[in-house]
Structure 1
Amino acid sequence: MDTYRIMIVDDDPHICEIVQLYCQREGFESSYCHSGADAMMQLGSFNPDLIVLDVLLANENGIDWCKNARNYTNAPIVFLSSQEEDEVKISALSYGGDDYVTKPFSPGVLMAKIKAHLRRVSAGRREQLLELPGLTLDFYAQSVHMGSRTIFLSKKEFSLLSYMAQNVNQVVTVDTLFHLIWGMKSLEDTRTVAVHISNLRKKIEQDPIHPERIITVRGAGYMLVAGKR
């Protein structure tokens, strides 16, 4: 497997440097951010396998950041915090966190926890890839790989694409897509699906105006066409 990527989100530069140093010793690629806004911007480009996240960022709440990040990544999130209250721990783990380490912490213990989560990532990820010509869906990271590019999708966009990918070269009706994603009948509300398809095309098509991947079959629905390798 490729080198694991660890993203560190903490407003304390000293903490970031310590965790990054230990990551380097383990052969991991790492990157750090001091704010939630910077971390969210980096999330798509860095594509982390695991995130180390401070509960209390400067002027930000790490738990809220975690909740938002779960729309874009399934990577394990290990919280760091000086708060030991059970309420905070429960909240952090309930809203998308996978582990909770209190400060001051032992770097060795933190790395042991990180490696344990990465072992589970590795075991699960082997079974969570769907490969099509020129297009690979990563169900774990909720991302799409096209050549050297990694593209992150929203949950609804990924659900739409993954369903069509599992029915590649077959027409999928608007009603089917609507019911699959929103859990109800479309009641002829075709625009909702059309908007999400349009957003998806902007991310995976070379020319979204003249799509070659996701084509519209008039009067029927949409079809994901298998491309060339």
Structure 2
Amino acid sequence: MKKGMRILIIDDEPQIRKLLKVALGAHGYEIEEATTGVDGISRTATFKPDLLIIDLGLPDIDGKDVVKTIREWSQTPIIVLTVRDQEEEKIEALDAGADDYVTKPFSVGELMARMRVSLRRAAASEHEPVITCGDLVVDLVQRRVTVAGKEIKLTPTEYELIKILAQHRGRVLTHKQLLKAVWGAAYDEDTHYIRVYIGQLRRKIEADPTQPRHIITESGVGYRLMDH
């Protein structure tokens, strides 16, 4: 991550803001803070951050609505802070346009790993012809998938699923986002499709499908292709 990148923190909890300001400041980030959603939206426009950290539990407006509003005019990476066991909140935030989430209480190391993935994706071309995740390689031009150099035979649907996961590697994709991308909007409630095809993919690309290294389940939310 480049030094001097600008991070806007939208959170009404002073101790969280202080923790993030000290930890991220120590890594050379320029930090700006907002304590309300309304202030956060206007500071996004003036401060022009490279990444936003938004707490979903804001005092004035719902954090998900802040994400939605910012997404109307900005593609800046957004990481939301959520409370444990609020799967519905996480899903709605991701569907609203957040790139990822971190559950409180969180470690700064975990947050920074998520930030690195989001910033790297924002900087990378959306049209990379070959995507590499550890020993898994997805060649978008030849529609070819290899693991440790060995070609994996996939059905068209399996390929579309691994392709969308690879294009968003490191980022969690919700069941709804995956269904919409692979099967179309009409199927966005049919989560059993996803489970079946993820199971098939794991049998083909994982050394041990019961202990997956590539396609990780985010419980109750969706799936993430690890960016090894």
TM-score by length of 1: 0.52
1:103-118 pair list within 5 angstroms: 103-118=104-119
C-alpha deviation, 1:81, in angstroms: 1.4
Extract structure 1 runs of 4+ deviating beyond 6 A: none
**Cα distance in 2 between the residues matched to 1:100 and 1:58:** 19
Gaps in structure 1 of 5+ consecutive residues: 128-229
SS at 2:81 equivalent: strand
1:1-229 pair list within 5 angstroms: 3-124=4-125
SS at 1:8 equivalent: strand
**Cα distance in 1 between the residues matched to 2:97 and 2:124:** 20
C-alpha deviation, 1:21, in angstroms: 1.3
**Cα distance in 2 between the residues matched to 1:29 and 1:119:** 18
What amino acid sits opposite 1:100 in the alignment? Y
**Cα distance in 2 between the residues matched to 1:124 and 1:39:** 28
Deviations for 1:162-202, whole angstroms, at most 9, x for unmatched residues? Answer: xxxxxxxxxxxxxxxxxxxxxxxxxxxxxxxxxxxxxxxxx
**Cα distance in 2 between the residues matched to 1:13 and 1:50:** 20
User: Rg bigger for which structure?
Assistant: 1
What amino acid sits opposite 2:48 in the alignment? N
Aligned length: 126
C-alpha deviation, 1:83, in angstroms: 4.3
Deviations for 1:120-140, whole angstroms, at most 9, x for unmatched residues? Answer: 222249x9xxxxxxxxxxxxx
**Cα distance in 1 between the residues matched to 2:15 and 2:43:** 20
Gaps in structure 2 of 5+ consecutive residues: 129-228
**Cα distance in 1 between the residues matched to 2:6 and 2:121:** 15
TM-score by length of 2: 0.52
CA contact (8 A) 1:51 1:78 kept: yes
